[in-house]
A and B are shown apart, each in its own frame.
Chain A
Amino acid sequence: MLKKIRVALAVIFGLLITMLFLDISGVLHRYFAFAAKLQFVPALLALNVVVLIVLVVLTLLFGRVYCSVICPTGIYQDVVAFFARRLKPKKRRRYRYSKPKTLLRWVVLALFVVGVIAGVAVIPALLDPYSLYGRMVTELLTPLYSGVNNLLVKALGDGNYTFVEADVWMKSGISFALALLTLLVIGYLAWRNGRTYCNTICPVGTLLGYLSKLSFLKIQIDPSSCIQCGRCVRACKASCIDVKNHAIDYSRCVSCFNCIDTCSENGIAYTVSWAKKRVATQTVSEGLEDAGGKTVQKVAEKVSAQDVEETAGKEVSKEMAQGVEKGGSSRRQFITTSLLIAGTAAELRAQSNRRSMIKYPAVRKDRFNRLKPITPPGSVSREHLNDACTACLLCVAKCPEKIIRPSVNEYGWEFVMQPTLSFEKGYCRTDCTICSDVCPTDAIKELTKANKTKTAIGHAVHIRENCVVVRDDVNCDACWRICPTGAITREYRDDGTPYVPPANNPNASTVNLRLVPVIDKDKCIGCGACEYICAARPLAAIHVEGYATHRLLT
């Protein structure tokens, strides 16, 4: 029964968070975003005290149910293990007890803490189970999902407006490669031995594991009933049942309840922790349990308060770390170029399906190699983003304009895969705040629509030599027309005098004039509309450079 509840809850949570990433209708994130905000590391980095308290209390009451029910990577491993148990030859299906790798666990946890405090974001990003999962879904599952969706659209034909074509694209070579690696490594470990990742590497697993040693309810073996048959050991994907000593390593038990039903002697139970001896004698007085319950709850409260203080302390030091001036980001060429090339090739293939009557086919422009990367609106500053982001790619997956992608070395290698903006596929619409709505770590802070239109994330720069007005000697008003804030005015190309439309016809045709754009930095919000629409190829003649700290325009 307990197992059924656990499985049901895990399926619900797993679907919630997977659909949050996968959904291409642009609707579900409004209802599902909480599933990401419940995750431990994002809540920690967002200083989301409520969620942290909930998770700690949950662990102190029920053990590591977070790992069983809420953590998507945990659920992913259970799914792999589920199939492994059914597909592997009988002998190799069995799990075995193994000794804890305590030292490794503490080292990894320490590394995680150092990574957070020292601001080497790539370490928490590579260890946080939620972000690992987010990247797997965004890079690997989303293309499949969109592909199936597109087949469905094709099958349904005209007149279907329920399902709409989705763009299948690779967000970045490096996050794709890492996602694939995660999928294979964690998948392999889960296939072999169940929850190996959770119990040797995962810092959240370590932290919650030691916390769950204090939990109120625990799986317990009744030594008097136990016949040492080892059935429970073979069912334990956490390898934490030491049947010889009738001991369970609670730092590794994820409260999956798989063992309970395997016991032919009813010798395993999920029950109140200090009642161990009483279980053995099989007489538990109700009055005693009640009294005991209260005491333990008090203990739990104390512990959780202590824990929160600890966490808060950590956060303070993190805040301090934020204040530390960081050196300029190194632009080391550290990515594997082959992966990038593969990514670009895939994108090109996707675009080759074009109308033929165009003699000069409309091709997507190349990505601009910016001097200063652009951070998503709401991220306040590059530093804030770098410190708080775990690169789960939820913002990348949810951006309806597909302008957010995982960085390569724009911010330096320590911050790889954190979101950065570029405008080949679209531009940042002034009325959209989805990335800030969904971000679970608060790396992208909530932004009201009113503030969004005033938040400058960068400013446009015009490169005259590339402008079609100069190069092709034609009239072009694309950037001026699209600019949502009126930051672009125009001047005569040849003598630089400002263009003033005739008073009686402000929209008079300028077909015979040659005007170039002038950018007012005090009005430009860096939305990239001009860069997106610019007709110049292969690079836009007008592009956005990011601000290190966003400006609020008046």
Chain B
Amino acid sequence: MEAKNPFNQRKITRRKALKYMGLGAALIPASWYLGGCSGRTKMDWADIKPDTENVPVGKMTYTTLSKTGDRISLLGYGTMRFPTVERETPEGVRSFIDEEKTEELIDYAMAHGINYFDSAWMYHQGESETVTGKMLKKYPRDSFFVATKMPGSVRSREDAIATYHKQLEKMQVDYFDYYHLHSLSNDQTYERIYKEWGVLDFLLNEKKEGRIRNLGFSFHGNQALFDKLLAEPVEWDFVMIQMNYLDWQHARLPASYMYNELEKKNIPVMIMEPLLGGRLARVSRNVMEMMAEERPNDTPARWAFRFVASHPQVMVVLSGMTLMDHLKENIKTYSPLEPMTEKEKEILQKAADIISTYQIISCTDCKYCVPCPYGVDIPGIFLYFNKATYDSNVPNLDGPRDAEFRRASRAFLVDYDRAIPELEQANHCINCGECIPTCPQRIRIPSELLRIDNLVQQLKAR
């Protein structure tokens, strides 16, 4: 019975962990009293440093899948956000993956037990698959698992098949461990590519031939499409959903719904956007204080990672780690994973309730919308706006024109100019609408840009 359970290994860890946690929970407040600690009134961002010391080796938590026996690290490496360098090209300065730094990251990850690497045709404008393949070449093929995805931008059956073969070539592998139908978000596209053109049959055949070991999809659509896909007469080996404590209840299609459906069907769940492109790595001060009350040394990122990973149906949590510090902290979080208590989950739901009231834009910086034909730095503007929201730098136009308004106003405008070059700012959006279908988060990009620009212009008025 125990052996058949795919989550066997983790459940044991979890039980142990609970004991320690109980102890810890008792000890931590005690230590406050003993230490006479009373100065924890104001919590600022800088107060919690990511915990990157003494990263353990060989303590990674793994998931063993019942169907294939694959033993996958619970923390997977997402290859959408590798470090980049800017280089001069005939078309102007462009950014490329910084291969030196990337190799260092991947070697470190492998050495500390990460064995799952998730790429896609679209990432880094095509460069991600090539670099991931190149970096993993030096390791034995059975020491890691690679995933990639069929892009939704293919134009025909032939194009799709050519893309697929090109992917095998780019990643320098004979087979894919996991292959996705990428970013299913709209029924017509799904019907056209996978049914009408027969691309799904082609992929199922590839699976039969052994060049795809597991076939599934990543999902960004509505409930109707989700239900339809699960009802398809296809045996999905996994499904990748966007899940985190904010989207658990507060997304258009709540992650909790998708997760529960998948759990019912016992389909392993892959997690993308556990931090919402970094948005959950920084939270506002009041949320931070709530978290610190319970666990004073944990960063918001660790909270977010523990939340998703504590769901037993989750097989792997993808994180696009750009900096060595991200990687180290995440490895520590998962080596081994300390599952979340019910109390902690409650705290996060309260935090989500607060965060969801912010006027933030649900951009995850996936960059599918760029390049904008007219040069607007769409994700840059949205990320900047969200950051300004968290930093309480978005002035309230309906409020009094007091010192606080003037401070916020100056900070907002100065930081805006620093973050976004003048010619790439929101006022240069011409409302052509080219970006609208590309956004997996379904942000109405031109309207949001207009909203931000209206604020900027009102603040600029003298």
A interface, CB within 8 angstroms of B: 161, 164-165, 352-364, 429, 431-432, 468, 472, 474-478, 481-482, 509-512, 533, 535
Contact = CB atoms under 8 A, between A and B. Distances in A.
A509 B445 CA distance: 12
A510 B92 CA distance: 32
B430 A535 contact: yes
Interface in B88-132: 91-95, 125
A360 B430 contact: no
Nearest to A510: B431
A359 B378 CA distance: 13
A482 B446 CA distance: 15
Contacts of B87: 356
B91 A164 contact: no
Contacts of A356: 84, 86-87, 92-95
B434 interface: yes
A535 B371 contact: no
A354 B421 contact: yes
Q: Which 4 A-B pairs have the closest CB atoms?
A: A362-B375, A359-B371, A362-B423, A511-B433
Given A161-B411, A477-B431, A511-B432, A362 B424 contact: yes
B430 A478 contact: yes
Contacts of A509: 431, 433
Contact of B424 (A164, A355, A478, A511): A355
B95 to A, nearest CB: 4
A482 B461 CA distance: 13
B417 interface: yes
A357 B92 contact: no
B423 A478 contact: no
Given A161-B410, A354-B92, A510-B431, A429 B421 contact: no
Interface in B347-398: 367, 370-377, 380
B434 A474 contact: yes
A358 B430 contact: no
B87, B93, B430 pick with most chain A CB within 10 angstroms? B430
A355 B375 CA distance: 10
A189 B446 CA distance: 60
Contact of B431 (A358, A363, A432, A511): A511
A22 to B, nearest CB: 20
A355 B384 CA distance: 15
Given A356-B94, A431-B461, A165 B417 contact: yes
A531 to B, nearest CB: 13
Contacts of A533: 427-428
Nearest to A512: B433
B125 to A, nearest CB: 8
24 contacts: A161-B411, A353-B421, A354-B92, A354-B93, A355-B421, A356-B92, A356-B93, A357-B95, A358-B370, A360-B374, A360-B375, A362-B374, A362-B428, A364-B423, A429-B460, A429-B462, A474-B373, A474-B433, A475-B432, A476-B432, A477-B430, A477-B431, A478-B430, A535-B374
Contacts of B423: 362-364
B94 to A, nearest CB: 4
A522 B431 CA distance: 27
Contacts of A475: 430-433
B165 interface: no
A65 B374 CA distance: 58
Contacts of B92: 352, 354, 356, 361
B462 A431 contact: yes
Given A476-B430, A535-B428, 6 more contacts: A352-B93, A356-B95, A362-B375, A429-B462, A468-B374, A474-B430
A359, A509, A533 pick with most chain B CB within 10 angstroms? A359
A541 to B, nearest CB: 11
Contacts of A432: 462
Given A364-B423, A476-B431, A477-B431, A355 B377 contact: yes
Contacts of B19: none
B414 interface: yes
B343 interface: no
Contacts of A161: 407, 410-411, 414
Interface in B194-213: none
A448 to B, nearest CB: 14
A511 B367 CA distance: 22
B418 interface: yes
Contacts of B367: 357
Contacts of A363: 375, 423
Contacts of B446: 511
Interface string B391-429: 000000000000000010011001001100101100111
B55 to A, nearest CB: 28
A431 B436 CA distance: 34
A91 to B, nearest CB: 55
Contacts of A165: 417-418
A79 B328 CA distance: 59
A410 B371 CA distance: 38
Contacts of A358: 370-372, 375, 377, 424
Contacts of B86: 356
A474 B91 contact: no
A364 B423 CA distance: 7
Contacts of A354: 92-93, 421, 424
B123 to A, nearest CB: 12
Contacts of A535: 374, 428, 430
Contact of A362 (B414, B418, B421): B421
Given A161-B410, A355-B380, A362-B423, A478 B431 contact: yes
Interface in B54-80: none
B98 to A, nearest CB: 12
